Structures are given as structure tokens and as C-alpha cells.
Amino acid sequence: KAGVTQTPRYLIKTRGQQVTLSCSPISGHRSVSWYQQTPGQGLQFLFEYFSETQRNKGNFPGRFSGRQFSNSRSEMNVSTLELGDSALYLCASSLESSLSETQYFGPGTRLLVL
Amino acid sequence: AQKVTQAQTEISVVEKEDVTLDCVYETRDTTYYLFWYKQPPSGELVFLIRRNSFDEQNEISGRYSWNFQKSTSSFNFTITASQVVDSAVYFCALRWNYGQNFVFGPGTRLSVLP
């Protein structure tokens, strides 16, 4: 079974631009979560989508948004990029959106904002 | 508030040594799950183990073992006879019943030297 895939793997943007990252979950998985990883803040939860609905949201500004499609694929958008948005963005999928579910992570998209 | 502490920032051992990675968590929920993930240099988080709050049995999987103690709110991870391939950053994570998804510890960077 193919794992979680994320595109693109690397991205360079400038301040003020916007960016869209894509995540394809493991086949059959309906929940997709997004995380931001930086050296200073570590791994932080952004949001979770299940059945095209946002289920949980972390403490990030409204510039960070996402959506999920009927095939469970998810996109994350960051508008008006800031230097501090430079990070590794990780997507994780699980079968369902429940406490006991294990999340399986993709390789991440490394975003650099100049 | 929910929190995960990994006091060891970096650990270096020589191959074949045993090493224990510490994880201390905080939560007021009685139902929660604890996880360990490994992040090799490639960046993708690899799931290692999941444990729920009602199951304090220790677990052994090959060279890996986990010690869960609710009395001390700890979920420690031991690698026996470490190998160079074990070099990675290891994250302990907590998932509880309400609110945000996962909270991750800051990670412990393990270097196994030949």
C-alpha cells in the first residue's frame, strides 16, 4: 500500500506570496492532519480534516487554511507568507478521526520564505 | 494543559550500547493515548508504538521496549544493542479526548556511533 504523499517536496516563496501544499492520504484513510515543524517551535498541530470537514484546529492565524476533497486528498494554503512560515509541513493520515487512531506521516514539504 | 517533556535534547552512544529515551507527559484527562515516532534524516515521521492510558503493560518489540508508568506520568523508550541505523530524532506524543489533536515533545536526537 502506498504511503502518504506530499507535493511539492520543496518550495521557495517570497514574503507576501501565498502557497498551496497538497497531501494524498493512504488509500482508505479518511482523516488528514497537518503539522508545522520548525527548529524553534518543534512540531505543532495545524488542523485535521475528516470527511471534508475541519474537525480540529490548532493555534495558528487565519492565514493558514485547508480543505479536504471527496477523495480524502487535502490541501493546505498559507496566504501572505511571512519569514516565520519557513518550516517543514507534514501531513498525516489515519483511517478515522478518533482518539485511538494512529497517524501515518508523509515525507513533508519544506517551505522556505525569503 | 497538555504537555510532553523530553528532557534529553541529544544523546550519543556507541553501537551496541543500550539507551533509554525519557518522556514525561501532563494531562488531566483519564483517557488518552501516547505515541513514539522516529524521524530519520529524510524527515518522514515513522510510527513506533501506541499505548492507551488504561494499558500499563510494558511492551517489547525486537530491540525496542517501552515502559509506561502512570504513577510518574512517564512513557520511556529503550533501545537495546543500539545500531547506527537507530540514529534519528525520536518524538513522544500525547493525544487526549478533547480539543487539539496531538501534542508532541521537543524530541531527542539520538546519535549512534560506530
pLDDT tens column, B68-108: 999 999 999 999 999 999 999 999 999 887 655 689 999 99
Residue B14 pairs in a beta bridge with B113
- Model confidence over B3-45: pLDDT tens digits? 999 999 999 999 999 999 999 999 988 889 999 999 998 888 9
Q: How far is B19 from chain A (nearest CA, A)?
A: 23
Q: Give the number of A-B residue pairs with CB atoms closer than 8 Å.
A: 53
Subunit contact A92:B97, Cβ cutoff 8 A? no
Write out the three cell numbers for B89.
530524532
Give the pLDDT confidence score for residue A114 in this predicted structure. Answer: 97
Give me the phi and psi of B40, to 5 degrees please: -75, 175
β-partners of residue B21 are: B77
- Model confidence at A96, pLDDT cuts 50, 70, 90, reads confident
- Measured CA to CA, the distance from residue A58 to residue A60 in angstroms comes to 6
Contacts of B103 in chain A (CB under 8 A): 45
B109 in contact with chain A, both atoms CB, cutoff 8 A: no
Provide the grid cell at A50.
475528516
Q: For residue range A74-83, what is the model confidence (pLDDT) as tens digits? A: 999 999 999 9
